[in-house]
Amino acid sequence: MLDECSAAGYQGIDLGPVGFFPEDAGKLRDALASRGLTLSSAVVFQPFHDSSAWEKVKDAHIRTCRSLVAQGAKQLVLIDSIAPERTRTLGRPGDAPQLSPADWTGFVARIREACAIAVGEFGLTASIHAHAGGYCDFEDEHDRLLSAVDERLLKVCLDTAHSTLAGMNPLELAERYAHRISHVHLKDIDPEKKAVVVRDHIEFYKACSEDMFCQMGKGEVDFAALRQFLEKIEYQGWCTVEQDCAPDAMVSKVDMARANREYLSSVGF
């Protein structure tokens, strides 16, 4: 996989779920360096909304922080993972189940604690990623969380397709939080398939398997405009290319990765 990533023209790669890559720092460092790759970032994709899972979530979080520090990486992205009860309310904030006031308070407290650990104990930059099916998905939830946690602790990871699916304009979101963007996830989305997913209450992973998140340049995200905006604000961070697709997708994943990289190069990334 690392060979293919390098061959497709990428300079770095995300850590992936804790344990996916070796937690032995030397082994991972050698594997990356031998292919000319840098560890760009890491995502903690965990159920922060679930108080009963917190000890397990916290353990994965701390192990992820350690791996980042060992590789000299700085960007940690927090994602509240998909809740089963919200996986069929994609793009429909009015229909999505909500946390009780007490549960929301606990959710915010766990995000704040995770940030304090990442920033205060490990010297990392932590950001929140609004993700489909989690409890930080829609604009009001995203804004409410960001207003509740000190911006010195919590930054913004802009995901171009998840924000679009949630009904937000990623460029407008970027403009509003320009001072707080620390990481960017690049992903495209097919507008026709998105409309069907929202209309027919299609579950998230099924939507992925049916290529709602399409090859870059074939969807509705305006990457050229985003690139211009990032230049305007002198953004210096990483942009991570993500391609959610079915495990048995007919198109070769390395071919898709290469096509995405070539397209992004054509619009200035």
Under DSSP, the state recorded for 84 is: G
Where do we find the tokens 């000299």? 72
Domains contained in the chain, number: 1
Total residue count of the chain as it appears in this document:
269
pLDDT tens digits for 54-95? 999 999 999 999 999 999 999 999 999 999 999 999 999 999
Greatest extent of the chain over all pairs of C-alpha atoms, in Å: 50
pLDDT tens digits for 10-41? 999 999 999 999 999 999 999 999 999 999 99
Contact 221, 104 (CB under 8 A): no
pLDDT tens digits for 203-223? 999 999 899 999 999 999 999
The pLDDT value recorded for residue 253 is: 84
Mean pLDDT of all residues in the chain?
96
Measured N-to-C along each axis, helices 101-116 and 139-148 cross at an angle, to the nearest 10 degrees, of 60
CATH of the domain at 32: 3.20.20.150
When pLDDT is averaged across residues 238-250 and rounded to a whole number, the result is 81
pLDDT tens digits for 91-107? 999 999 999 999 999 99
pLDDT above 70: residue 248: no
Query: Left (φ > 0), alpha (ψ -120 to 50) or beta: where does 99 sit?
Result: beta
Give me the amino acid identity at 183. H
Give me the amino acid identity at 103. D
Which residue range forms the structural domain that includes residue 165? 2-266
Which residues lie closer than 8 Å to 169 by C-beta, 6 or more apart?
Answer: 163
User: pTM for this structure?
Assistant: 0.96
